[in-house]
Every structure is written in structure tokens, then in C-alpha cells.
Amino acid sequence: MKINSNILIFRNLIKYYFLIFILFLIKAFFFPDVFVPEDLKFVIRKYEDEVMTYSYPIVLAGILFAFIYLFSFFMLYKLKKNWRIIHIISLIVTLVCLLEYRFSFVDSFDFIFEGLMFMLDGAIISLAFFGTVSKEFK
């Protein structure tokens, strides 16, 4: 069975999303503030020591929907029709739950990675709903 070239592009976008996501996680865990000036590092470390209280239902919902969001990419890769809506709902709920973070800092590479991830996610969603790939969902 020959696979449509648009489906290959769609699946490659999902692969690129996860490649950038993995690079983002590696940078966030191993090199969190590499490109931050020294005076700003002092302020960041000062606020990192503060104990922040979070709403447990929002944190649990954020974690749950983040896993659903990541799993929905796998189901979109398999071209499952109902998971298109689940993907959008989980994206919205995850972004709303991220508002719970009261203090967060991103440097220039984090900002670039996040921007690329949002652009790829937008391309994936637009192809899933409006492109020729949308007719291939079962």
C-alpha cells in the first residue's frame, strides 16, 4: 500500500515535534540557565528557593492532560479521527494549567524551542483538520 506524500509530511511534522521536545527537555534539565547573564542568575536562584504552593487539583489535571496531550500525538500519527479533538482539548487544558506556575523563566533557546513546538503543533492541527490529510483520518 502506497502512503500519500501528505501523510508522510504530517507524520514527519510529528517526528520533528518530538525531536524538538526532547532537545527542549535535555536543555531544561541539564543546562537550565546557560545563556542567562550572571546578575539575572542570582535573582532566578533567589526565587527558586521559595516554597510555592500550588493547587493540587490543577496540578493533577495538568499532569493528566499533559500525558493525554503527548499520547494524542501517537494517535494522530496513526490517523485516529476522534483524537484530533482530544488533542486540541488537552492542549488548551494543559496551557491553562501551566498558568499555575507563578514564576518561570525561559532563556533565548527555551523561547526558540517553545516557538518551534507551537509552530509545529499549529501545522499538525491545521493539516489534521483542513489539509488533504484530514480526509485520511478513520
Total domains present in the chain? 1
What integer pLDDT is reported at residue 110 of this predicted model? 84
Query: Cα dist. 45→33, 38, 64, 105, 110 in Å?
Result: 10, 11, 29, 11, 17
pLDDT < 50 stretches in the chain: none
Say what the pTM is: 0.84
**Cα 21 to chain center, whole Å?**
7
Q: Which domain holds residue 102?
A: 5-136
- pLDDT value for 42: 73
Q: How far, in Å, CA of 125 to CA of 130, rounded?
A: 8
**Contact (CB, 8 A) for 119 and 87:** no
pLDDT of residue 49: 64
pLDDT value of position 52: 67
CB atoms within 10 A of CB 29: 8
At 103 the pLDDT is 63
Cα R_g (the chain), whole angstroms: 18
